[in-house]
Amino acid sequence: MHLDSRTPLAFAALAALLLSSACQSISDSVTSPSRWIADSSTALGDSSEASADSSNAFSKSISGSSSPEDETPAESAYRNDVRVAAREWGSAGGSTDDFARELGRISERHGISDWQGQSASFRGVAEGLREAGLPETQVTARIEALAGGQAPAL
Amino acid sequence: MRRRIPVMLAGVGLLAVALGPVRADASDGGLAFVHVEANVGGASGGHSALRVGDRVYHYQLGDERLLDLDRVDWDVFRFRYNVLENRPLKLAHLDVDARTQRTVADRFTSVLLRQRRERAEMAELGRDAALLEATLGRRSGVPTPAAGLFDPGAEPPPGALALAERLRSALGADRIALPEAIESTPGAAQRYREALALGFAVRMLGDGRPLARDAWVAAPGAALDAPERASLRALQRGLEDAMARLLAVRARPDRAQPLLVALARHRAAERSLATGRLHLVDPFPAEAPSLGRREVRKRRAELSAVADFLDERVRGERSARLNGEAPHEHDLARLEALAARAREYRRGAEEDRPVREPGDVLVPRRNRDLAVPAPAPPGASARVAALREEHDALRAARETHWHYDLFGRSGENCVTQLGHTVNEALGDPQGPLGGRVDPDAWLRFWPLMFFRDVEEQLAVSRVEALPAHRLRLRADLDERDGRLTTRLRESNTLTSAVYTPREPDGSFLFFTDDLLLPRPLFGAVNLLWATGDGMLGLFTAPFDRGARLVRAGKGALFSVPELFFVNIRKGTFDAATLPASRGAD
């Protein structure tokens, strides 16, 4: 049991001391090497089930054979971020080049430099654009543009 | 005589022990507001977060006092706050449907992407300005991500020219012509930089240039075995396909970086196969934030312990990912980051040198300044000034949205911002959470008050309490050995077997987080203890640079609340002081 919930006066006296530091500073965590014990074990959604066959999927058929059910947690987390970004792209607009750069930034945070080589990228884009209400012809056209003219089947 | 639990950082065992049974319910669905109780260090007034499924969202105080959203796995969050920082956590669970959960998660993801986009746009403007400054002779070149992985002046390593030959047709297809001038149209500077970077990548590939001398890391572990060799060969084949595609397909304007990264990994794999030892690309930027020598000296044991752990992880990842097939890119990236960090910490601990300590770096981005052949465009100086103004305007906009301003007009901190984001996600005041918390109400920026509101205003299905790590260890001891002598031993920092004093905790003698009525008395003793330590510190200051004085001051400061029945200080742990077994003595 903690008395701090029963002593509002004492807390008020300490408020000035405490409130100014009521947010964790990023620099505190950045300078804590011990935190990598956990981060290194579970980062990227702990992709313990990640399989090699999902690499370089661009060169393989991506005609629906790799459904979300086949995804690892890491791929799913990545696709989800792409979906949210694509939905905003579909709603707010913007150039294909700018969105391609945005995909580059998103994928980098997931440990992926070559997003065109990941089928999850195109699945996420398709989902997001559909959520934004774009007609299927536009979804296909935008994905084709991102893929460089080689429209991956979804 | 003092007995201490042996510190055994035996691979994942430590993490499993530290997280204990709570890991089992980490896959719970729904939402949960998380209250992190106070302790010394950052967020000494407590902290708030939102758990959505396995992920936790929370705002932190970042650069320039802006509130940056962070997203981490629940296990990571819990290990940091509940284990290392030894803070009790409370979770107020709300049973919501999948749609609500997704709506909230999407909103936080959107904020996260927006904040990252804002930072990236500012960085791009900075690089555009650097490009123009380079044309004016004010700097040597424009910083280019991943270009620093290569040594453009060194001789080709074995196999490099053969690779160039295999990719000759793709290389020829994309011999891009760098524009002779930097136009003044919007986006022209960025396009020029991208073309410059692509030209550099094509040269590194075509001329067979090697990795820079410090751009790779030799992974710990035995010589390559047959499955690892097969994996590396498969990886090389996949990378060659990817490079050919990146050269031929022009849909991606920023494809120079993935091309350079793929080439660097190909070179590292080649070196591995040639030497029989696993070599990986070092993904850390040379200019990453670092721990200085003094800090490294103080944390030598911790760095060494984490390096041991990371080495173990690298060995595990090697056998799991290099199993005969090509590793997935994100698995390879993680392996690179693990190996680089392990080497960094090991070198720091053993060679007394600064330690690069970047955040979540996964894809190599080592910069190099590339010389700019284009002449200064007309009005270049004015354009640099305009870019600086645009940069400042973006910064001002970010400050408007994300400024930590607890005592100002907006009154925002990490707690209120969390509440606002949840409310923005759900909109309806009486929506799926069964009520609404008003983060602008009086004192709701205080994590404790905010959490009380959550409990009272929302349809909370259950409240889960996770005691601080030390108290869990002590409870285990009590269960197995309820002797009075054991309890006395664990009551203080001198004889405790589960806690080792750490400098950031300050000087104190008695733990008071598990006491109620005697708290002021123990607090008074702690205050006297810290005062005495401080007096000693006056004499030792010339020799320890005032470290003891600082520790004593911190100890005295956090003893004062205990006089008023309030506990803040609970002790903390790090990798070197974390007991590996729960309560064994």
pTM, 2 dp: 0.88
Q: What is the DSSP letter of A117?
A: G
Q: Indicate yes or no: CB of A24 within 8 angstroms of CB of B241.
A: no
B170-195 CB burial, b ≥16 within 10 A, e <16 = bbeebeeeeeeebeeeeebbbebbbb
Q: What are the tens digits of pLDDT across the range A60-73?
A: 323 333 456 678 88
Any long-range contacts for B387-391 (C-beta under 8 Å, 24+ apart)?
Answer: B387/B125, B387/B128, B387/B129, B387/B132, B388/B129, B390/B125, B391/B122, B391/B125, B391/B126, B391/B129
- Residue of chain B whose alpha carbon sits nearest to that of A2: B516
Q: Indicate yes or no: CB of A37 within 8 angstroms of CB of B76.
A: no
Q: Return the H-helix or E-strand segment holding B351.
A: helix B329-351
Q: Which residues pair with B35 in a beta bridge?
A: B48, B90
Rounded to two decimals, the ipTM of the complex is: 0.89
Distance CA B560, CA A121 (A): 55
Q: What is the pLDDT of residue B199?
A: 93
- With 50 as the cut, is the pLDDT of residue B286 above it? yes
Shortest Cα distance from B9 to chain A (angstroms)?
10
Distance CA A26, CA B61 (A): 6
Q: Mean pLDDT throughout B81-92?
A: 95
Q: Mean pLDDT throughout B554-571?
A: 94
Q: Indicate yes or no: CB of B566 within 8 angstroms of CB of A7.
A: yes
- Residue of chain B whose alpha carbon sits nearest to that of A27: B62
Tally of CB atoms within 10 A around B371: 10
Tell me which chain B residues have a C-beta less than 8 angstroms from the C-beta of A47: 328, 330-331, 334
Q: What is the pLDDT of residue B15?
A: 53
- With 90 as the cut, is the pLDDT of residue B21 above it? no
Q: What are the tens digits of pLDDT across the range A100-114?
A: 999 999 999 999 999
Q: Indicate yes or no: CB of B330 within 8 angstroms of CB of A30.
A: no
Amino acid at B530: A
Amino acid at B192: Y
Q: Indicate yes or no: CB of A39 within 8 angstroms of CB of B360.
A: yes
- Torsion on CA atoms B340, B346, B348, B352, rounded to nearest 10: -150
Q: Mean pLDDT throughout B382-394?
A: 95
Q: What is the pLDDT of residue B36?
A: 95
Q: Mean pLDDT throughout A87-108?
A: 95
- With 50 as the cut, is the pLDDT of residue B399 above it? yes
Q: What are the tens digits of pLDDT across the range B472-493?
A: 999 999 888 888 899 999 999 9
Tell me which chain A residues have a C-beta less than 8 angstroms from the C-beta of B448: 4-5, 11
Shortest Cα distance from B158 to chain A (angstroms)?
25
3 state DSSP class of B94: strand
> What are the φ and ψ backbone dihedral angles of B523, each rounded to 5 degrees?
-65, -40
Instruction: Using alpha carbons, select from B262, B271, B167, B174 the residue that is nearest to residue B219.
Output: B271
Q: Indicate yes or no: CB of A41 within 8 angstroms of CB of B15.
A: yes
> Residue B368's Cα: distance from chain center in Å?
24
Shortest Cα distance from A29 to chain B (angstroms)?
9
Shortest Cα distance from B402 to chain A (angstroms)?
13
Tell me which chain B residues have a C-beta less than 8 angstroms from the C-beta of A100: 251-254
Average pLDDT, chain B: 89
Percentage of the residues of chain B whose pLDDT score is greater than 90: 73
Any long-range contacts for B402-408 (C-beta under 8 Å, 24+ apart)?
Answer: B402/B66, B402/B67, B402/B68, B402/B115, B403/B65, B403/B66, B403/B67, B404/A23, B404/B61, B404/B65, B404/B66, B404/B67, B406/A19, B406/A20, B406/A22, B406/B445
Which of B331, B334, B513 would best serve as a mutation to test chain A binding (most A beta carbons within 10 A)?
A: B331
Owner of token pair 């007991």: B579
Q: What is the DSSP letter of B79?
A: I
- With 70 as the cut, is the pLDDT of residue B80 above it? yes
Distance CA B569, CA B567 (A): 6
Q: What is the pLDDT of residue B173?
A: 60
Q: Is B335 in contact with B321 (CB distance < 8 Å)?
A: yes
Confidence band, pLDDT 50/70/90 cuts, at residue B14: low
Confidence band, pLDDT 50/70/90 cuts, at residue B412: confident
- With 70 as the cut, is the pLDDT of residue B251 above it? yes
CB pairs under 8 A between A and B: 282
Q: What is the pLDDT of residue B580?
A: 60
Shortest Cα distance from A103 to chain B (angstroms)?
10
Owner of token pair 């990490």: B414
* B323 touches A at CB < 8 Å: yes
* B478 touches A at CB < 8 Å: no
Q: What is the pLDDT of residue B147?
A: 97
